[in-house]
Chains A and B, each alone.
Chain A
Amino acid sequence: MAKHAELPSDYPPPAVEVRLIGRIVDLRGKRVLEIGAGDGRLTIQYASLASSVVAIEPDPANVALARESASATGITNSSFKVGTAERVRMGGGAFDIALFSWSL
């Protein structure tokens, strides 16, 4: 559906992507790895569904914004790291779901 955008964004309106992801895989209770998380725009939309989220993003400024957004929205199960899929080291075991949102 059309949305009037005061500050236009070329991303889908909030909740659209999470709903579409849900058609492929159930995010509830899953351990999620998000690659190219940007400023956390999508992460904060689904994080409360997941058991935990590790979101990686190469731009430190975006990571700082994502951390602020997560904090402001009360999200405590997500960690944001500077890095790329190719280079970042991740401990804590395997992930159930990996997300590339406009980032491959």
Chain B
Amino acid sequence: MVHALERTAGHLAAHGVCVLIQPHRTRRPFIAVVARGRRVPIGGLVNPAFQPLIDAANDAIASVVDRGLFKLLNRSNHQFSVRLANPSQLHRYLHNGQRPPRFPPGARKRLMAAWRSRPPGAEIEVTEYMTLIGLRRVGA
């Protein structure tokens, strides 16, 4: 990852900007059952297999900033949500990637209980968290 950033710096013009969009360092997808303004929070998912990759990416960014290759311009956190029609669609959604997150103990049971007692028109909401990082090339 550090090597990718180093090579990228070499392709950037003086004062060029590198923008990175990544999953939030610690916040994983959050599940809720929603209907007509009512929201039943189920809980956040966990992803131990993914966490080392996120940490390594952030360490690589810190490394190139510390070494003076880039200057940190901006770091901002954002979230977005998608609505899914049922637990089956949630399963498909979560297994889109190579390292899908999983429910912590008890959360799947809470989801299914909330889904069984859902009001008409209920959906499953997944809130995702991401971070945007802007770096300016220095020392060109």
Residues of chain A having any CB pair with chain B under 8 Å? 1-5, 8-10, 12-13, 16-17, 20-21, 23-25, 33, 35, 84-86, 90, 93-102, 104
Could you write out 21 A-B pairs with CB less than 8 Å apart? A2-B81, A2-B83, A3-B80, A10-B128, A12-B78, A12-B80, A12-B130, A23-B132, A25-B17, A35-B8, A85-B7, A86-B7, A94-B14, A96-B13, A98-B12, A98-B16, A98-B18, A99-B20, A102-B21, A104-B1, A104-B20
Give the chain A neighbours of B35 by CB distance below 8 A: none
Identify whether the interface residues of B are mostly helix, strand, loop, or mixed: strand
Give the chain A neighbours of B20 by CB distance below 8 A: 99-100, 104
Contact present for A21 and B19 (CB under 8 Å): yes
- Check B92 for interface membership: any CB of A closer than 8 A: yes
Number of A-B contacts (CB under 8 A): 125
Chain B nearest CB from A86 CB (Å) reads 5
Chain B nearest CB from A92 CB (Å) reads 10
**How far, in angstroms, from A90 to B13 measured CA to CA in the complex?**
13
Contact of A8 among B57, B76, B89, B130 (CB under 8 A): B89
Residues of chain B having any CB pair with chain A under 8 Å? 1, 3-5, 7-8, 11-14, 16-23, 29, 57, 60-61, 73-74, 76, 78, 80-84, 89, 92-93, 96-97, 123, 125-126, 128, 130, 132, 134
Give the chain A neighbours of B19 by CB distance below 8 A: 21, 24-25, 97-100
Contact present for B17 and A10 (CB under 8 Å): no
Give the chain B neighbours of A9 by CB distance below 8 A: 82, 93, 96
Give the chain A neighbours of B12 by CB distance below 8 A: 33, 94-98
Contact present for B134 and A4 (CB under 8 Å): no
Contact present for A3 and B81 (CB under 8 Å): yes
**How far, in angstroms, from A101 to B130 measured CA to CA in the complex?**
11
